[in-house]
Amino acid sequence: MIRFENDYAEGAHPRILERLIETNYEQTPGYGRDEYCQKARELIQKACQAPDADVHFLVGGTQTNATVIASILRPHQGVISAISGHIFSHETGAIEATGHKVLTVPSEDGKINAAQVTELVRLHHAEAMPEHAVQPGMVYISHPTENGTTYTKEELTQLSATCRELGLPFFLDGARLGYGLVAENNDLTLADLAELCDVFYMGGTKVGTLFGEAVVITNNQLKKDFRYLIKQRGGLLAKGRLLGIQFETLFENDLYIELSKHAVSLAMRIREAFAAKGIAMRYDSNTNQQFPILPNTMIEKLNQTYSFTMWEAVDETHSVVRFCTSWATKEEYVEQLVEDLRKL
């Protein structure tokens, strides 16, 4: 079985494993106070052109989302998110478990826009007694989204400006950020994100590391005591250097970008192969996730060789499925898939 079902099926890039072996017997202080973490922080600050940013390393995405969001909101506030946002539907209520509601706005493709945020906030404050409802307290987006789509610099700039005008910290979940940065239509840089967001993170889990998410906080007001929050939510790894070593490796010599390009170029070949068969896509994704609308009969055939994710039923005979590539996807697997599609 060849797996295209997700982007975390394999381990880590070999250079990362090598570094773990080389450093294995070094003795370092715990909890991220080591030199590898320090080095990784500096590389990320540099990549973001944000020398004053605070950079923290956590283990996983759900943990990171809950930690960041709960560090920002007061008890009566909620976080605005697309209804398709990971925090709303795929994290077992981790946000609610910290006491906060996720305030959803509709989204067809995983993205939200500045006008939606403005309107939700306006409606809240237009209520006769707004204190009877959860107050919008910040904005969460994912980029790329859960649907593989991405924001343009223009869209992100508008969202950011709106958030600042409304006093809402703006948080970007970049679990798959690399795959967005190398998309063919991308016009955003890490420096843009550092400028436009108050806090964002770059996922390692899906882009070449064993695990790990790097949180970048640029808003000074959100920096205070963040390590306490990480510890309280169970995200402060004892052997914190493992995170430092991995992110140092990712951000040396542009490995992060290189790995991202690998995944996206293979995803584009899959997209083209479907297009060549006249298969439409559910979302217009230029990143590592592709969502073809397939006849159920084709799904059955492909399932004999490939694993991929059932996304949603379209009608009685068609369904949307998800194909993922990653930094580790073997070119030959994609070639085989392209060939198989051609023959179908």
Under 8 Å between Cβ of 173 and 65? yes
Piece of 13-21, 41-49, 294-302, 313-321 that binds its own copies (CB under 8 A): 13-21
Q: How far is the CB of 308 from its own copies (least distance, A)?
A: 12
Please identify which residue in 99, 167, 272, 335 interacts with its own copies, judged by CB under 8 A.
99
Q: Which of 69/190 has CB closer to its own copies?
A: 69
Q: Residue 13: what are its φ and ψ, rounded to 5°?
A: -60, 140
Residue 107's φ and ψ, nearest 5 degrees, are: -155, 135
The reply to whether 24 sits near its own copies by the rule CB under 8 A is yes
Give the x-and-dash track for 296-335 against its own copies (CB under 8 A): -------------xx-----------------x-------
First to last CA, the chain: 18
β-partners of residue 136 are 78
Q: Is 101 in the site for its own copies (CB under 8 A)?
A: yes
Q: Which of 107, 147, 149, 205 binds its own copies (CB under 8 A)?
A: 205
Which distant-in-sequence residues (6+ apart) come within 8 Å of 49 by Cβ? 190, 191, 194
Closer Cβ to its own copies, 134 or 196, answer by number: 134
3-state secondary structure 4-32: CCCCCCCCCCHHHHHHHHHCCCCCCCCCC
Smallest distance from its own copies to CB 82, Å: 16
| Cβ at position 1, least distance to its own copies in Å | 8
HSE of 5 in the Cβ direction (CA atoms, 13 Å)?
12
E-assigned strand segments in the chain: 2-3, 54-58, 77-82, 102-105, 135-142, 170-174, 199-203, 213-217, 289-290, 293-295, 306-307, 309-313, 318-324
- Binding string, 208-247, against its own copies, x = CB under 8 A? --xx-------------x-xxxxxxxxxxxxx--x-----
> Binders of its own copies among 50-89, rule CB under 8 A?
59-64, 66-67, 70-71, 74-76, 78, 89
Question: In angstroms, what is the minimal distance from the CB of 168 to its own copies?
Answer: 14
- In angstroms, give the least distance from the CB of 196 to its own copies: 25
Task: Please state the closest distance from residue 10 (CB atom) to its own copies, in A.
Answer: 6
Shortest distance, CB of residue 63 to its own copies, whole angstroms? Answer: 3
Q: How far is the CB of 285 from its own copies (least distance, A)?
A: 20
Task: Say whether residue 90 binds its own copies (CB under 8 A).
Answer: yes
DSSP β-ladder status, 289-290 and 318-324: antiparallel
332 membership: H or E segment, kind and range:
helix 331-343
**100 is an interface residue for its own copies by CB under 8 A:** yes
Q: Which is nearer to its own copies, 168 or 194 (CB)?
A: 168
Could you say which residues in the range 124-143 bind its own copies, by CB under 8 A? Answer: 128-135
CA dihedral 118, 163, 142, 100 (to 10 degrees): -80
Q: Tell me the one-letter amino acid at 304.
A: Q
Q: Which is nearer to its own copies, 132 or 343 (CB)?
A: 132
b/e per residue 62-95 (b: at least 16 CB within 10 A): bbbbbbbbbbbbeeebbbbbbebbbbbeebeebb
Q: Min. distance of Cβ 109 from its own copies in angstroms?
A: 21
Number of residues that bind its own copies (CB under 8 A): 79
Rg of the chain's alpha carbons, rounded to an integer? 20
If the CB atoms of residues 60 and 295 are measured against its own copies, the closer one turns out to be 60
